[in-house]
Amino acid sequence: MRDFLPIHRPALVLAPMQDVTDLPFMRVIARRGAPDWFVTEYFRVHPDSCLNRYILRSIVENETGKPVFAQMIGRDLPSLVRTAQELAELPVAGIDLNLGCPAPIVCRKDAGGGLLRNPETVNRLIGTLRDAIPGKFTVKTRVGYTTAEEFPALLEIFRSHAIDGLTIHGRTVVERYQTPVHPDRVRTAVEAMPCPVIANGNVVDAETGLSYLAQTGAAGLMVGRGAIRNPWIFSQLTAAFAGASPPAPSHRDLWEYVLELSDEIARETPKFNPLAHVQRMKKTLAYISHGLAGDFEFDMRRMKTPDDFQKICRRHLDHDLPLPAKPPIGSKLFCGFEALGQSTSLASHRPPA
C-alpha cells in the first residue's frame, strides 16, 4: 500500500460497497475528483465460486487511471487461496480480505465481520493468504464483533503478519452503521502497526475527515456512504489538505450527477428494464436525497416510472442553491458523524514516510 500513498497528504480511498461501487460508479466519482485508489465490491469465495465477471470489469476495464484493489470475502481457506492467485494474475494493485461486512446473511456464514468471532481462524486465514499472495495483501476490518474491547487481541494478529495495509472501520460488527466510530481504536492501530492504517467510517465531509485524521494519525481515509451522497468529497478533502477553496456544488450539480450515474448504470445493465432501473436508482437516491430541504426524499420513495424520476429530480434539483455540507444531525443513514467533532487541524497527523 505504501507505493500508492501520496507523499504530501493523507491518502483517499473509495470504500467497497456491494451493489454500489461498480464500474459505472467509479467512472462517475472519478470525474468529480478521483480517490487515490479503488477497492472492488467483494468477490464471494466458496468451494464452487468463480470470479464474478461484472466485478472483474472494475479491474480490467477501469479507465480512471487509478489503482484498483480486489476484495475477497469468504471463510474456506483453499478457495480463498485459489481466488487470490487468480486475481493476482490480473492488473490489480493488490488483494484485500474483508473482515468487516456486518450484513447478517454474511455473518451467519462466518464470513466478513462474522470471522472476528473466531480470532484463531482469522490468524490462520491471514497467515496462509500472506504466504500465497505474491504482491500486496491488505485487510479491512472492524474493531471487534461485539465490543471494541476485542480489538487489542485482533490487533496482535494483524501485527504478526506482514500485511501491506490495514483499513479499520471504527465500529464493531454489532454496531453496524448505527453509532459513532471509535477513533481511539484506530489510533492504537496506527501506533502499533508497521504498515499504513486507513481510517473508515462517518466521514461525510471535509470537516469530519480532517477531524478523524487529527484524532487517529491515520495514513488516510476511506469514504463510503459519504461519497454516494457527495461525490465531490475527495476533491473537497484534497483542497482542504492544501488549504485551498473546496468545490461548493449546487443542487443543479447534484442533478447532473444523478442523471449521469443513471445513464452509466443503464448503459451497463444487461436486459435493461426501465421500471427496474428506477427501483435501482431509488436505492442510491436514498443517500443522495437524505437531508435535502423540501419533499425530495418523500417524492423519490414513491416514484415508479422513468418519467416520475425525471420530473421529481427536475422539480427539486433544478436550481443553484448550494447543497448542505452535512447530513442532518440524528440521521438514520449517517449515524453519529457529529461525534467526530469540528477539528480541522492536521497538527497531529504526519504523512507517512
Residue 342: the pLDDT is: 55
Q: How many CB atoms lie within 10 A of CB 75?
A: 18
State yes or no: pLDDT of 28 exceeds 60: yes
Q: What is the pLDDT of residues 12-27, one digit of tens each?
A: 999 999 989 999 999 9
> CATH number of the domain that 134 lies in?
3.20.20.70
Q: How far apart are the C-alpha atoms of 78 and 320, rounded to whole Å?
A: 55
User: What is the tens place of the pLDDT at every residue in 258-290?
Assistant: 999 999 999 999 899 999 999 999 999 999 998
Query: Which range, of 9-13, 197-201, 341-345, averages the lowest pLDDT?
Result: 341-345
Q: Are residues 86 and 214 in the same domain?
A: yes
- Same domain (yes/no): 289, 142: no
| Position 345 pLDDT exceeds 60 | no
Tell me how far apart the alpha carbons of residues 81 and 130 are, in angstroms, rounded to a whole number: 9
Task: Give CA–CA dist 187/238, Å, rounded.
Answer: 22
Note whether 218 and 274 are same-domain residues.
Answer: no
Q: Which domain holds residue 20?
A: 2-247+335-340
Same structural domain for residues 195 and 231?
yes
Q: Given pLDDT bands bounded at 50, 70 and 90, which one contains residue 1?
A: confident
- 185-199: pLDDT as tens digits: 999 999 999 999 999
Has residue 75 been placed in a domain? Answer: yes
- 11-14 and 37-44 beta bridge pairing: parallel
Report the helix count and the strand count for the chain, using DSSP H and E.
Answer: 14, 8
* Residues 259, 206 within the same domain: no
Is residue 255, in this structure, part of any structural domain at all? yes
pLDDT value of position 201: 97
Q: How far is CA 21 from the centre of its chain?
A: 8
223 shares its domain with 313: no
Cβ neighbours of residue 4 closer than 8 Å, sequence gap 6 or more: 11, 36, 37, 67, 93
Q: Which amino acid is at 136?
A: K
Q: Is residue 345 part of a domain?
A: no
d(CA 29, CA 23): 10
242 and 255 assigned to the same domain? no
Domain total of the chain: 2
Predicted pLDDT of residue 344: 46
Query: What pLDDT sits at residue 346?
Result: 46
What is the mean pLDDT of the segment spanning 315-342?
92
200 shares a domain with 56: yes
> Which residues, in sequence order, are bridge partners of residue 220?
11, 198
The Cα 50–Cα 20 span in angstroms is: 21
User: Which pLDDT tens digit goes with each residue over 153-174?
Assistant: 999 999 999 999 999 999 999 9
Q: Are residues 113 and 59 in the same domain?
A: yes
Q: Based on the domain organization, do 149 and 279 belong to the same domain? A: no
- 256 and 235 both lie in a single domain: no
